Structure 1
């Protein structure tokens, strides 16, 4: 069976052109010269399922070599092909997005805004390409799963200013369990810290264990945070171990930017004042990143056609026979090897300040209040001595909180403890010297007995802020 697509037409034309070159070379060049030219052609053509076959304009814009550099890790694509095989057999598609303010859409328009569902958003570009290839009878549902209504679905769970330490425990607050494909854009939100290796691994293990065994694609970009190196570089080794494709706009564009800095205002958001924000890509940046992801998926459909064509009776085989699902490794990479350890399925609890499924509701509250800036929500206090308490249940003994750190918001300090262990309280400073503002997770209790516990936080009079700021912003409390 030959599956008709725009990509197949391009593939046919490319193969036809290559065949004509082979014939002309053999006719008009001496045999040794012809051999050399044909070898060079073979190298140039490479795979007949390359990105340039499916989006030649993208390759012309970025350059063929730069598009190749964007493919940070390819792997087997076993899970992605399994999902695509289901779509080819008529099943519905649910795509979820895990990301920060970039995926929220900050920087797509000239005026700052959050537009996670617009067709110009990088993640929506990937979804729309899939939806055009495999449309659902009843159309598209945005914001929640439409599987029961026989619809394809796109759900953005992106939250600005947080990274994998938040999403590893809180993704379920923002996304449904029936996802088929998860797009992760958190390279820039994660700092270059060893702890983010662990939080990214916890995140992908939890996602891979969801009921529909979803595929994961990592979409990386960055130019300027603390360094050009970013959390995506910490994620890469974990992605390789779990066989998760990684596509990086940074790797595709950074060399060109170094040679021609006039490209920066093209790729990144420019404010009304003319200030360039190199932490948020522009509409063009979204377009390039989204098209890289979309074309990459088409390359996998192309490879699947070749694979299926090589197997007699493939049309009568089940998805499990063609694309068997490998078990999740019994241990994390970020652990010492142990022949007996088996990591259980991770089922975290998360109570964020902007929670809809599980809102952050204290059992006792003296002096804390809800507050938000645009779509960033917090439980805050600015009165020293104010206390707030939450009830949590833990299965493996860890309780964490997520709070804001900033150099410019005059943030104060708090201490938090478990049950009655005030003497074991952990001090948390909202102020720091890093020149960016971001949520940070902190472990308040570990190796706790499974079951119910109390988490209490108190605003301190002491503060690390040089100007004496007292306000503390709590984002969420979590347990596993």
Structure 2
């Protein structure tokens, strides 16, 4: 049974269930069969016997038609008021059946569905939400107003693996594709696209540092951080802080979560699989490429070289972490197909009510990762972030012995040390007492260990941090201090002589210092 047949079957069964309920109401109205049970009075007709609301109306108006179809004994004709209500129900189901505002109805969505299949493309919408914010922004766009689109994401968003000189803003990048669609659709006088993607970074970094990479007045923000964090509670807590901080911006932007996928790690699941509860709590729509496309991989794994980046550095010759041009094109198009579906629904709303206004709901007063407390309102997040990847808010030490600045690429910068005993100290401020140090973890780079503490409380705040791990990816990870007194402080770190690296190497790489 294909998708269309399943939808028709669902429609007919739902219609019959409503008809059965209506028969019961009409039986009470007629005052007959009072002593008989509902099951004795009615029997359900074959779902194919009633095809549209015109036929159903004719049956309702007949003394015998409805009874012969639905009941063993006749009942009185239904009053006009009941007929109107029944027609309303039937029309609602007919509209669902027609699905006029689906993912395959707009010009971009239609081509995408022809290429990948309707079922696959429709599956990509894993949480639609109410789209209040998105529709408000789209209304602004199609009224000819200027807009800014921004991106928060990792190396996939940065275009790692694309064969372009400017892989962040080149025409093959998924977000550049979406931005081009928006320009072609709305033809604004002025618009701006800011790709804030940072390689090897996920929600743990962006929850504190997003404001360093995207403008505060962005209208539409695409969030792609699902594969740069493990499927664990700390990752989801950081994701909540990221979403909450974006929604709390003064210009009330629309946020669209887009999940990419990777197939080279120990688990297919990544943090994106655990983020749905946060998306639902904050009413943010989610579009997911893996949900749409993984079945095609199961059916034919030889498609992988066409979808992912070809890289001879990997034994298979395929980098299954980074999308190739084909998946970038799919991603940009499927995000636009979702926007097209919302524009269609907006047209329907405005046709029904020309005075339709697009408003937004409030950000929940409390976090989902927190105890419910009636009347409590969480303060607006104002993160502190100093990072090696920012020229505006760089991570600069107040004291340094033995550490140096170093980069492996223009977007991967660190403070590093390789001599045990090297010490570095960073100033910071906090308002809510949460302090986070981010550093690189890898099994490839010969990373060692450090010891860090806050101010002069070495005995009570010391944490031991390892750079080496046995995971198959190199990525920023974090260590957190809680309940730090609000105000100004200093974090001290010393490179240890001990190391977990099998080769005995001891280098350590610090990325950023953050707090709220």
TM-score category, normalised to shorter length: 0.7 to 0.9
Q: CA deviation at 1:136?
A: 2.6
Indicate conservation of the 8 Å contact 1:220/1:248, yes or no: yes
1:183 aligns with 2:225: no
Match of 1:98 in 2: 152
Structure 1 residue 442 displacement after superposition: 1.0
Match for residue 493 of structure 2 among 450, 457, 461:
457
Structure 1 residue 125 and structure 2 residue 125: aligned?
A: no
Deviations for 1:288-331, whole angstroms, at most 9, x for unmatched residues?
A: 011000111111111111111111444xxxxxxx1222111011
Change in CA separation of 1:401 and 1:57 when aligned onto 2, cut-off 3 Å: same
> 2:280 pairs with 212, 225, 240, which one?
240
Match of 2:327 among 278, 285, 295: 285
Q: 1:313 to 1:60 in 2, by over 3 A?
A: closer
CA contact 1:79–1:325 (8 Å) conserved in 2 = yes
TM-superposed CA distance for 1:32, in Å, is 5.7
Report whether the alignment pairs 1:354 with 2:363. Answer: no
Larger Rg: 2
1:129-208 equivalences under 5 Å are 129-137=181-189, 151-208=190-247
Give 1:398-437 correspondences, 5 Å limit: 398-423=434-459, 424-437=461-474
1:330 alignment partner, one of 348, 362, 365: 365
Contact 2:141–2:188 (Cα < 8 Å) also in 1: no
Q: What is residue 19 of structure 2 aligned with on the other side?
A: none
Of stretches 337-346 and 284-293 in structure 1, the one that deviates more from structure 2 is 337-346
For residues 217 and 46 of structure 1, what CA distance do their matches in structure 2 show?
A: 26
Contact kept, 8 Å, 1:267 with 1:281, in 2: the verdict is: yes
What does residue range 363-378 of structure 1 map to in structure 2 within 5 Å? Answer: 363-374=398-409, 375-378=411-414
- Report Cα offsets for 1:175-209 as digits up to 9, x if no partner: 11001010011111121111111100000110001
Distance 1:32 1:429 in 2: 66
Which ranges of structure 2 fall in alignment gaps of 5 or more residues?
1-46, 56-89
Extract unaligned runs of 5+ from structure 1. Answer: 1-30, 138-150, 315-321
2:102 maps to which residue?
50
Matched, 1:107 2:158: no
Post-superposition shift, 1:226?
2.8
Following superposition, the deviation at residue 88 of structure 1 comes to: 2.4
Displacement after TM superposition at 1:333 (Å): 0.7
- For 1:395 and 1:257, how far apart are their aligned partners in 2? 47
Question: Per-residue CA shift, 1:140-181, capped at 9, x if unaligned?
Answer: xxxxxxxxxxx2010011100011000000111111100101
Q: Is the 8 A contact 2:402 2:423 kept in 1?
A: yes
How many residues align? The count is 426
- Once residues 214 and 252 of structure 2 are traced to their aligned partners in structure 1, the CA distance between those partners, rounded to angstroms, is 15
Of stretches 376-385 and 332-341 in structure 1, the one that deviates more from structure 2 is 332-341
Aligned partner of residue 401 in structure 1, secondary structure: strand
Shift of 1:243: 1.0
The C-alpha deviation readout for 1:77-120, integer Å capped at 9, x for no partner, is 110001111122232111110111101101222x8x76110121
Q: Which runs of 4+ in 1 moved over 3 A?
A: 31-34, 41-46
Q: Answer whether contact 1:404 1:438 (CA < 8 A) is retained.
A: yes
Secondary structure at 1:52 match in 2 = coil
CA contact (8 A) 2:144 2:187 kept: no
Deviations, residues 340-396 of structure 1 (Å, cap 9, x unaligned): 431100010111112121011101010111111112111100011111111111111
Shift of the alpha carbon at 1:43? 8.6
Measured in 1, the distance between the counterparts of 2:348 and 2:483 equals: 51
Give how far 1:46 is off: 3.6
- Cα shift at 1:45: 5.3
Comparing both chains, which one has the higher relative contact order based on Cα–Cα distances under 8 Å and sequence gaps of 6 or more?
A: 1
User: Aligned-residue CA RMSD in angstroms?
Assistant: 2.1
Structure 1 counterpart of 2:348, from 296, 301, 306: 306
Tell me by how many angstroms 1:227 deviates.
1.0
Is this contact kept in 1: 2:312–2:318, CA < 8 A? no
Q: Distance in 1 between matches of 2:380 and 2:116?
A: 42
Matched, 1:297 2:313: no
Structure 1 residues 60, 214: closer, same or farther in 2, change over 3 A?
Answer: same
TM-score, normalised via structure 1 length: 0.85
Is residue 135–residue 152 contact of structure 1 (8 Å, CA) maintained in 2? no
Name the counterpart of 2:432. Answer: 396
- Measured in 2, the distance between the counterparts of 1:359 and 1:239 equals 31
Q: In 1, Cα distance between the equivalents of 2:115 and 2:143?
A: 34
Quote the Cα distance in structure 2 between the aligned partners of 1:42 and 1:280: 42
Match of 1:267 in 2: 307
Distance 1:67 1:97 in 2: 22
* Offset, 1:460: 0.5
Whole-angstrom CA distance in 2 between matches of 1:427 and 1:339: 38
